[in-house]
């Protein structure tokens, strides 16, 4: 399952994501991973979640992202949920097409590996295409 939380800056996306992380830790039996661009959620995310700071790695391309997610899963098959805060901040390509491609790949990976994904996109909801809206 892939779920997208979309809205403009200041609309409460990250707060909702933090609440969903806490809920996942309490209710899911697997491990929870949170990926963020920089160290801003350190004190908001419970210690039981694995917090990964994308700035510590050379993120930039979708291919690197796919390999990174695959490697995280290969290193821990017990992961049940991966949360990604603000996908657009992680990548240089901030186009809708790039987001659609990444979401489609995450959806396929989710089904194949039984890992749930929840991510935020900082953009007006009106700009969402049908390929993005299906993940709302």
> What is the per-residue pLDDT across 2-51, written as a single tens digit (0 to 9) for each?
999 999 999 999 999 999 999 999 999 999 999 999 999 999 999 999 99
Q: What's the rounded mean pLDDT across residues 82-108?
A: 92
Asked if pLDDT for residue 62 goes beyond 80, the answer is: yes
The 3-state secondary structure of the chain, one letter per residue: CEEEEEECCCCCHHHHHHHHHHHHHHHCCCEEEEEECCCCCCCCCCCCCEEEEHHHCCCCCHHHHHHHHHHHHHHCCCEEEEEECCHHHHCCCCCHHHHHHHHHHHHHHHHHHCCEEEEEEECCHHHCCHHHHCCC
Domain CATH for 42: 3.40.50.300
Q: Which domain holds residue 71?
A: 2-133
Indicate the pLDDT class of residue 60, thresholds 50, 70 and 90.
confident
Specify the number of domains making up the chain. 1
């Amino acid at each position: 399952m892939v779920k997208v939380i979309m809205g403009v800056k200041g609309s409460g996306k990250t707060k909702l994501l933090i609440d969903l992380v806490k809920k996942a830790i309490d209710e899911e039996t697997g491990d929870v991973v949170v990926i963020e661009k920089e160290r801003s959620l350190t004190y908001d995310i419970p210690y039981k979640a694995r917090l990964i700071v994308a700035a510590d790695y050379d993120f930039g391309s979708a291919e690197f992202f796919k390999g990174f997610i695959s490697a995280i899963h290969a290193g821990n098959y017990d992961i049940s949920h991966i949360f990604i805060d603000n996908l657009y901040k992680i990548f240089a390509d901030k186009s809708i097409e790039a987001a659609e491609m990444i979401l489609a790949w995450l959806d396929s990976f989710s089904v194949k590996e039984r890992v749930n994904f929840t991510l935020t996109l900082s953009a007006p909801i009106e700009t969402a295409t049908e390929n993005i809206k299906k993940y709302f």
